[in-house]
Amino acid sequence: MEQSGEDTLRFEFTGTYNHSLDPKGRLTLPASFRVHLNHEQAPKFAPSFDKKCIVIYPLPVWLGLLDRIKALSRSDPSAVSMRRVILSMAFDCEVDKQGRVLVPPPLRSLTGIARDVTVVGSLESAEIWDRAKWEEYFRQGHEQLEPNASRFTL
């Protein structure tokens, strides 16, 4: 874990890892992700906002997301709906000593995850994708990389 000058945690989940869920629906987390996703500070599972994958949030990142969700207007029907859906599908993520997590069946069903998955680093979180969906998503994103690059300065 690195700390920035503002004394906040930095998470650097990067890379893609192909795995398979075991018959019980457990996933072995990539070794490099276990630094931040472990049994000491239970992470959270939630659907991505576009429902294409499952996101695993380290506890500090999850708490920050909760603060932003709490700040949403309670009179805006879209905000209320988003709050309800995301929070109703959030689950504790218990990591065992072997670095495995049981991927919640409701989230697997929502995102179409069955057995073969790709675990993707997404900077402050990790994502679990159905492997075929990830390959298609990546292919499309890769095709747009060059045309979109001019819009972003890094």
Collect contacts of 61-70 with beta carbons under 8 A, ≥24 apart.
61/11, 61/124, 61/125
| Beta-sheet strands, E only, within the chain | 2-3, 9-10, 16-20, 26-28, 44-47, 54-57, 91-92, 100-102, 116-121, 126-130
- pLDDT tens readout for residues 10-58: 788 999 999 999 999 999 999 999 988 988 888 999 999 898 999 999 9
- Residue 142 above 90 pLDDT? no
Q: Where are the domains of the chain?
A: 9-149
Q: What is the pTM of this model?
A: 0.88
For the chain, how many residues are written?
154
**d(Cα 67, Cα 56) in Å, to the nearest integer?**
17
- Work out the end-to-end distance of the chain between its first and last CA atoms, rounded to an integer number of angstroms: 23
Fold of 9-149: Chemotaxis protein chec (3.40.1550)
